[in-house]
């Protein structure tokens, strides 16, 4: 009756990570800093881990083995629903731009009656598509937690496949 120790690297299904705690007001993980929150992960029972200094740890399935980073967004209290509603109903007065922190554009829209309605329509589209957001660079508060649309962009680090012309 000899106890056997099996050494494996932590791969899929050898650990369980807990779900992040979600803030009800922002619908983002609690303790989000630098666009990252951390959730505890528990290795499966009878997993033996050795760190870089040679210390071994035997897990029973109840100890935290590591913390997995979870992406999150920086939110500062700007509601997506409020921004869209202001843009739709009071955009011609510049209320949407005042709300999002652009007072100069809000005043210009107010004085020109939303650039004769054309600017109001354009702003409604830009705010609805989340192209225009809060002036402080934060994200909108959206009323659910989960998968969201992410705007794709091309930077200097973006890989581009060469075009093959026939």
Residue 2 reports pLDDT greater than 50:
no
Who has greater pLDDT, 1 or 86? 86
Q: Are strands 139-141 and 75-79 parallel, antiparallel or unpaired?
A: parallel
Who has greater pLDDT, 25 or 119? 119
Angle of CA points 40, 42, 48, to nearest 5°: 130
pLDDT in tens, 39-82: 999 988 888 887 788 888 888 888 898 899 998 888 888 999 99
Predicted confidence at residue 1, as pLDDT, reads 42
Closest CA to 140 of 88, 105, 99: 99
Q: What is the mean pLDDT of residues 106-129?
A: 95
Task: Write the secondary structure of 47-79 as one string of H (helix), E (strand) and C (coil).
Answer: EEEECCCCCEEEECCCCCCEEEEEECCCEEEEE
- Cα separation, 106 vs 128, in Å, equals 17
Predicted confidence at residue 163, as pLDDT, reads 74
Q: What is the mean pLDDT of residues 15-19?
A: 89
By the 8 A CB rule, do 3 and 36 touch? no
Residue 86 reports pLDDT greater than 90:
yes
């Amino acid at each position: 009756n000899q106890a056997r120790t099996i050494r494996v690297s932590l791969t899929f299904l050898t650990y369980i990570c807990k779900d992040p705690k979600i803030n009800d007001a922002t619908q983002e993980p609690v303790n989000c800093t630098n666009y990252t929150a951390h959730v505890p992960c528990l290795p499966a029972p009878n997993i033996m881990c050795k760190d870089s200094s040679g210390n071994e740890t035997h897990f029973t399935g109840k100890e935290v083995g590591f913390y997995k980073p979870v992406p999150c967004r920086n939110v500062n209290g700007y509601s997506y629903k409020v921004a869209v509603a202001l843009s739709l109903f009071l955009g011609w007065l510049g209320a949407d731009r005042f709300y999002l922190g652009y007072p100069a554009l809000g005043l210009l829209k107010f004085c020109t009656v939303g650039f004769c309605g054309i600017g109001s329509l354009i702003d409604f589209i830009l705010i609805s598509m989340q192209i225009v957001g809060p002036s402080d660079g934060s994200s909108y508060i959206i009323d659910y937690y989960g998968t969201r649309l992410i705007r794709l962009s091309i930077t200097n680090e973006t890989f581009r496949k060469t075009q093959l012309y026939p």
